Amino acid sequence: MQTITTHSHAKLNLRLKIIGRRTDGYHELSMLNVLIGLHDTLQIRLEGGDGSVLFSMKGRGSSEIPNDKGNLCVQAAIRLIERTQRNDVNILIELDKRIPAGGGFGGGSSNAAAVLSAVHEALGQPLDEVELAKLALSIGADVPYFLRGASQVCVGGIGEQLHIDRSSSLRSTPVFLILGLPHLGTPVVFQEAGYSTRMENSVKKPTNSFPEEYGLLLSLIQNDLEIAASSLCGLLKETLAALRALNCGRVGMTGSGSGVFILPKDQTGFHIEDVEKLEEYCLSHALELVKSSII
């Protein structure tokens, strides 16, 4: 029997641009992604068996998250067993959730990538890097990003094109997260965005690098799904507008929402008066303010 304990981190899309749509319906994206300190914890146990996958979960929102084949963790384990034909092992997964579901932080995809990475290594790495990446993409568009394990990554295509930024220029940059807004489903938000197949011939290209200057990075924070998400959730629209009016830092939405983040005006940290404004706003609107940092 082998037991592995690992963390799976949340991500932020500092920039998310839709640059086209493929004939299969998937959207071509250009994103600037970073990992943050907020994480889930997984304990994964491998033992002799018949290829079964057993899953249990506790923590934040666990009652609202699928605990069967609808969970990406379980899908990752099942598909890896099938792909490697290792029906002689059972995989037992215990997940302790801290990353909120339905917020655009990629918690489920991060969990799946952690399971893939840990179990694949425990099985002796039977797949090459390309095969493992393809398996990751078949589980979810964000899974290849998390599987790479790098923080600052320019992501293109539907999630499979990864350009690692090795400067680590944003490491340790503090960030505030606003949690507690209504969950939004990714397919519903994309449908609301209403991008047509006419975008397939777009000449726009994905971004392949992070700007070196912090101020320039702040100016690039943008999410093409924000308007659609805001139209589906009036509280999200109201919150984004109010936070921007406070002028405590650069405000953005991650993924398809409804998670909101704030980066400081100065990379060294937030001013005390700005923190107080954010705390007061969240307290008065029954929202949760969580401090984290880019890793």
Task: Tell me what the pLDDT averaged over the chain comes to.
Answer: 94
- 89-97 and 53-59 beta bridge pairing: parallel
Q: Which pLDDT does position 22 carry in this prediction? A: 86
Q: Of 176 and 27, which is predicted with more confidence?
A: 176
Q: Which pLDDT does position 198 carry in this prediction? A: 43
Positive/negative CA dihedral, 161, 157, 17, 180? negative
Domain ranges of the chain: 2-164, 174-293
Q: Which pLDDT does position 64 carry in this prediction? A: 84
Grade residue 204 by pLDDT with cuts at 50, 70 and 90: low
- State in words which class domain 174-293 has: alpha beta
Grade residue 107 by pLDDT with cuts at 50, 70 and 90: very high
Q: Give the residue from 22, 61, 16 showing the smallest Cα distance to 40.
A: 61
* Dist CA 219 CA 215 (whole Å): 6
Fold match, 2-164 / 174-293 = no
Nearby residues of 36 by Cβ (< 8 Å), 6 or more positions away: 9, 10, 11, 12, 175, 177, 292, 293, 294, 295
- Give tens-digit pLDDT for 122-158: 999 999 999 999 999 999 999 999 999 999 999 999 9
> Of 11, 17, 40, 97, which one is the catalytic site residue?
11
11 assigned to active site: yes
- Find residue 290's DSSP bridge partners: 177
> Of 17, 40, 97, 142, which one is the catalytic site residue?
142
Q: Which pLDDT does position 165 carry in this prediction? A: 94
Q: Domain 2-164 is of which CATH architecture?
A: 2-Layer Sandwich (3.30)
Q: Of 72 and 62, which is predicted with more confidence?
A: 72
205 assigned to active site: no
Share of the chain above pLDDT 90, in %: 86
* Dist CA 261 CA 263 (whole Å): 7
* Dist CA 53 CA 185 (whole Å): 26
Cβ 154 vs Cβ 207: under 8 Å = yes
Cβ 171 vs Cβ 295: under 8 Å = yes
Encoding tokens for residue 164?
């690692």
Q: Which pLDDT does position 67 carry in this prediction? A: 86
Q: Give the residue from 13, 3, 4 showing the smallest Cα distance to 186.
A: 13
- Find residue 137's DSSP bridge partners: none
Q: Which pLDDT does position 200 carry in this prediction? A: 45
